[in-house]
Amino acid sequence: MPHRLLKFALSPDYPESRMFRAPSRLGDRYDVVIIGGGGHGLAAAYYLARDYGITNVAVLEKDYIGAGGTGRNTAIVRSNYLTPEGAAFYQTSLELFQDLSRDLDYNLFYSERGHFTLAHSPASLRTQRWRAEVNKHLGIDSRVVAPGFIKECVPELDLSCGGQQAPIYGALYHPPGAIARHDAVAWAYARGADERGVEIHQNVSVTDIDVRDGQVAGVQTDQGYIATNKVLSAVAGWTTSITEMVDLRTPLVIYPLQALVSEPLKPFLNHIVVSASLHLYVSQSSRGELVGGASLDPYELISMRSTLDFAEGLAGHMLDLFPCWSQVNVVRQWGGLCDMTPDFSPIMGTTPIEGFYIDAGWGTWGFKATPVSGLTMAHTVATDADHPLIRPFNLQRFSDFQLVGEKGAASVGH
């Protein structure tokens, strides 16, 4: 029993102080205003304060911190991306994650489980090899494995998928693939930013952005006007409502993404299992719940409603792979929003509007990018120049016909 816990036992009063300061009044002027109190926005605030000494920063969150994608995703971290640009970016994120609990002094339950992306066809297997080879080139631990190895690691898996459809030919195996406690990432960054002087304002909605002569001048909120010359939009699924305020055209379209969770079961599934063909990803949380998700909903919608189609489809695919889960009870399903780009890569960095920075296009892969997005966006906001890691992801690439090839052959990953 770590002795840190003894203080709880020995203190007559609860010995913990506030993680973040109680809400104060919104100020009149900030050096930087960050719209969106999710993982990305809070991480950017943390690194702005820590690395650049910029602390006169307000994070504006229209709901509660972590209310959006941060608290709705299935908390998978991996770096086995297809393009060198993507892989390098996510590898930096993964490395930051590995050290993040210590850095933020908060146990994020970062747990390396090993990540399988199953291939149900030779074509899919060759795409996995492509990823593996690019990953290896960048020093990322990633390889193509045979069905026997998968079965050894995940004995419950039915490699024949019930025999009525394509079997499993192999997988991309990525040992550093991990899961983490998603909410805690937001809280820990919030605490770190707050300790350094950043103000976090929950329940504040941005209603307009004041742009004068192509330069940001301020932000209008439902609680008053704030003067600022730098605004970072880090609102993922709500980005289109922010970019509309500054008349910025983007390729973003919003799709719902859903997930579900089972009752707690004694932990048995030690790995993260993903099947693009079956539109499924699943892992078992530290509480013993099976947490699973599927591909995007089939049409655009800016709403987090649930659909039965999703639950039916995902349960069906789970049983294709894990027939012994038939009696496992699903207790809850939920939804989140994904801001999708045409090339499955984010949109990050400077924009044609001076002082307006964007961190968007997070699609289904935003959580795993939390630390690196914070780090690189902090750099970008502080220096007014795109961090090298995110240069390929600038919004300008669409006007230049310079898309990132993350879409690969056609496969979708999570």
Partner 1 sequence: MDRRLPPADGEWIDRDAPLSFRFEGETYRGFRGDVVASALWAEGVRLLGRSFKYHRPRSLLSLAGHDANVMLADGLRTNLRGDTLPLAAGMDLTAVNTFGSLAHDWMNITETFSRMMPVGFYYKAFHTPEWLFPFHERQMRKVAGLGEISPEAEAAATPKDYAFCDLLVVGAGPAGLSAAIAAAETGLDVLLVDDQPRPGGSLQWAWRSNEAAYEKFQQLLARAELLPNLKIRSGTQAAGWYPDHWVALVDAQRMTKLRARAIVVATGCFDLPAVFQNNDLPGVMLASAAARLMHCYRVRPLQRAVVLTANRAGYQTALDLMAAGTQLAAVVDLRAEGETGAVLTELYKQNVPVLRGHGIYEAVPTFNKQAVKAAVVCPLDAEGQLQTEHTRRFACDGVVIGVGYSANVAIAAQAGVRFRFDETIQQLVPRELPAGVFVAGRANGRFELDAQLADGTRAGLAAASHLGSHTGEIAAVPPHAGEAPSHPFPIFAHPGKKNFVDQDEDLHLADFANAHKEGYDSIQLMKRYATVGMGPSQGKLANDLAVRILARLNGASINETGTTTSRPFYQPVPMSHLAGRRFHPQRRTPLHQWHVAQDAEMFYAGAWQRPEYYRREGTSREDCILSEAENVRQRVGMIDVSTLGKLQIRGPDAARFLEAIYTGNFANQQVGRLRYGVACDETGVVIEDGIVARLAENFFYVSATSGGAAAFYREMQRWALLLGHNVTLHNATGQLAAMNLAGPRSREVLAPHTDQDLSGEAFPYLGVREAQVAGVPALLIRVGFVGELGYEIHVPATAAHHVWTTLFEAGTPHGIRPFGVEAQRMLRLEKGHLIVSHDTDALTNPYEADLAWAIGRRKEFFVGSRSLQIVRQQPSTRKLVGLEFAPAAAERLPEECHLIVEDGEIVGRITSIAKPSTLGYPIAMAFLRPELTSVGRQVHVRLDDGSLVPAQVVAMPFYDPENLRQREEELVAT
Partner 2 sequence: MKLVPCPVNGLRPLQEFHFGGEVRDMPDGEAVSDAEWADYVFHRRGEGAVKREWWYHVPSGVWFIAERDNRTDEFVRSYLYEENGDG
Positions in the binding site for partner 2 (CB under 8 A):
239-241, 243-244, 249-254, 298-303, 305, 307-309, 339, 342, 398-401
- For partner 1, the closer of residues 181 and 379 by Cβ is 181
Q: How do 76-77 and 178-179 pair as beta strands?
A: antiparallel
- For partner 2, the closer of residues 146 and 302 by Cβ is 302
- For partner 2, the closer of residues 14 and 401 by Cβ is 401
- For partner 1, the closer of residues 292 and 355 by Cβ is 292
- For 166, 233, 286, 346, the CA distances from 60, given in Å and listed in that order, are 48, 10, 31, 22
Nearest C-alpha neighbor of 246 from the set 338, 356, 350, 341:
356
- C-beta of 27: minimal distance to partner 2 in Å? 29
- For partner 1, the closer of residues 211 and 269 by Cβ is 269
Q: Which does 254 bind (CB under 5 to 8 A by kind): partner 2, partner 1, none?
A: partner 2
- C-beta of 298: minimal distance to partner 2 in Å? 6
- C-beta of 392: minimal distance to partner 2 in Å? 16
Tell me which amino acid residue 334 is.
Answer: W
- C-beta of 145: minimal distance to partner 1 in Å? 11
Residue written as token pair 């289109």: 240
Residues 6+ apart with CB under 8 A from 31: 54, 56, 57, 228, 229, 230
Q: Is the C-alpha dihedral spanning 283, 285, 291, 295 positive or negative?
A: negative
- C-beta of 364: minimal distance to partner 2 in Å? 16
- C-beta of 182: minimal distance to partner 1 in Å? 9
Nearest C-alpha neighbor of 412 from the set 318, 276, 311, 299:
276
Rounded Cα–Cα distance for residues 128 and 133 (Å): 9
Q: Is the C-alpha dihedral spanning 198, 201, 205, 208 positive or negative?
A: negative
Q: Which does 329 bind (CB under 5 to 8 A by kind): partner 2, partner 1, none?
A: partner 1
Nearest C-alpha neighbor of 227 from the set 25, 30, 24:
30
